[in-house]
Amino acid sequence: MALLNILQYPDERLHIAAKPVAAVDERIQTLVRDMAETMYASRGIGLAATQVNVHERVVVMDLSEARDELRVFINPVITRREGETTFEEGCLSVPGIYDTVTRAEKITAEALDENGKAFTLEADGLLAICIQHELDHLAGKVFVEYLSPLKQTRIKNKLKKRTRETL
């Protein structure tokens, strides 16, 4: 397995919409394993393929304390949204930045697992929020884009400054 490079906001490649996976084959299964390793090594709870510059509809996540309940979503779609909730979100592509985002409280999602088997999942709480956050990545949207233009500008400037300081 290999650790993948996570794109950092405001990298334009984060805005490329992901294409559907044509077949769940060894290439996709390797991508899933590499994404999972990258997510765990980065101490994240979710990672979309877009974030590692692969523009296909693949998401991995693990919300468990023990980090042993990997969930894989290939070609995921949300088929139902219900209610509204707000939650403070962060993102591996926007390190150190957290802010409150409003999302659906409950969702129903359909996807394929790492073996290509279809499943339907009803989710609420953190799982529903994480699914919506990661599916936004597949659509080319980063969570900070829900914030005001002023906050977005401040975040971009802060991240650009941080990048300059590390060079």
Element (DSSP H or E) covering residue 46: strand 46-48
Please say if the pLDDT value at position 166 is more than 80.
no
Tell whether omega for the bond before 20 is within 30 degrees of 0, i.e. cis.
no
| Alpha-carbon dihedral sign for residues 103, 105, 108, 114 | positive
Position 1 scores a pLDDT of 65
Q: How far apart are CA 158 and CA 153, in angstroms?
A: 9
Domain residue ranges in the chain:
12-166
How is residue 92 annotated by DSSP?
T
Q: Which pLDDT score is estimated for 160? A: 83
User: How high is the pLDDT of residue 2?
Assistant: 76
Looking at the annotation, which residues are catalytic? Answer: 134
pLDDT > 70: what percent of the chain? 99
Mean pLDDT (whole number) for 97-106: 97
The band of 69, judged by pLDDT with boundaries at 50, 70 and 90, is: very high
Render pLDDT for 12-34 as a digit per residue (tens, 0 to 9). Answer: 999 999 999 999 999 999 999 99
Q: Which of 3.40.50.300, 3.90.45.10, 3.30.360.10, 3.40.980.10 would CATH assign to domain 12-166?
A: 3.90.45.10
